[in-house]
Amino acid sequence: MPHLKRFYCANAVMGGKIILDQPQSNHLKNVLRLKVHSMVEVFNSRNESFVAEVSAIPPKGGVELQISSPENTGYSALRTPHSKLTDISLACAIAKGSRMDWLVEKAAEIGLTRLIPIITSRTVVKPDALSKNKIARWHKLAVAAAKQTGQNSVMAIDNPIHFRQLETMVSNFSTSLIAVPNADKYLPEVLEKDNLTKNSNILYLIGPEGDFTKEEVATAIKWDIQPVRLPVNSILRVETAAITMLAMILYHFTKEISK
């Protein structure tokens, strides 16, 4: 099957019509230069993808797509979606500027399920600097990552919360971890002992530059979050630690599935 350009619409359904948002419409018209009757692929927020035909390209406003079954379009099937190995959520102190953009993009590419930006005692970025435009930008980066990597789901991004608000979330996860440089146990050791399965859902916490305070670590332990250290000898930036830990967790699940 020829490669189809991919577009995202959260509410796309079989047989429906959708209107692409302005950035995606501009990309279709002015970058890809697709025309009416061009065929594209559309994926939604439910791990589904469809073949769609460009049905209208108005001078202004969003491009209209008509979703059809593959049999009605001459395409026998779409690609097999890249399913996630397991549900992994990251509660991460907000990094400054473009570094947070990089973290969002790479975490989404690798397969993070959910990002929870947190504000800690040592977080440099303050709540009043986190505009709706910045959250919307992170979402666009996550959508672009899903389009590029062939995933049929988009990494969820929560509105930023304060560290203590995590308390009400921890019970929703089968395993919760916090990265601490002087923790007694290394991450691989904890993952091996926790008997994690594909149905496990994991939460891991990454602190800011300067790390979590002793009080925050003690509080996390009271919430039954396990402290772990990464098997590296260097001090990592927020975004580097977040991606390193995600990759190690995913590697562990790859090993478990292949047994």
217 lies in the same domain as 150: yes
Here the CATH number for the domain that contains residue 241 is: 3.40.1280.10
Residues in the chain: 259
| 64-68 and 49-56 strand pairing | antiparallel
- Number of structural domains in the chain: 2
The answer to whether residue 230 sits within a structural domain is yes
**DSSP state, 29?**
I
Residue 157 backbone dihedrals phi, psi, to 5 degrees: -130, 115
DSSP symbols for 102-163 = HHHHHHHHHT--EEEEEE-TT-SS-GGG--HHHHHHHHHHHHHHHHHHT-SS--EEPPPEEG
E strands along 163-208, which residues? Answer: 175-179, 201-206
Give the amino acid at 168.
Answer: T
Distance CA 66, CA 26 (A): 18
72, 98, 125 - which closes a domain: 72
Nearest to 177 by CA among 226, 120, 245, 242: 226
66 is a domain residue: yes
25 part of a folded domain: yes
The secondary structure of residue 27, as a DSSP letter, is I
Same domain, 119 and 227: yes
Partnered with residue 162 across adjacent β-strands are 119
Cα 94 to chain centroid distance, Å, stands at: 15
pLDDT tens for the chain, residues 1 to 259: 467 899 999 888 888 899 999 999 999 999 999 999 999 999 987 888 889 999 999 988 899 999 986 555 555 445 555 556 689 999 999 998 899 999 999 999 999 999 999 999 988 876 665 677 888 899 999 999 999 888 888 999 999 999 999 999 999 999 999 999 999 999 999 988 877 777 789 999 999 988 999 999 999 999 999 999 999 888 899 999 999 999 999 988 877 666 6
User: Which residues constitute the domain of residue 97?
Assistant: 87-258
Residue 131 inside a domain? The answer is yes
The 10 Å Cβ neighbour count of residue 15 is: 10
pLDDT tens digits along 153-183:
899 999 999 999 999 999 999 999 999 999 9
Identify the pLDDT of residue 77.
Answer: 47
Position 78 in a domain: no
In terms of domains, do 113 and 170 share one? yes
110 and 238 assigned to the same domain: yes
The CA distance from 89 to 104, in Å, is 12
Q: How far is CA 95 from the centre of its chain?
A: 16
According to DSSP, the residues that pair with 187 across neighbouring strands are none
Predicted model pTM: 0.85
Q: H or E element: which one contains 173? A: none
20 and 141 in one domain? no
Task: Identify whether residues 93 and 68 lie together within a single domain.
Answer: no
Q: How far are the Cα atoms of 50, 130, 134 from residue 241, in angstroms, in the given order?
A: 36, 22, 22
Whether 81 is covered by a domain: the verdict is no
Looking at the structure, do residues 59 and 105 belong to the same domain, yes or no? no
Does residue 77 fall inside a structural domain? no
CATH at residue 25: 2.40.240.20
Which of these, 86, 47, 83, 46, lies nearest to 199 by C-alpha position?
Answer: 86
Same domain, 138 and 28: no
Same domain, 131 and 252: yes
Domain match, 68 and 113 both: no
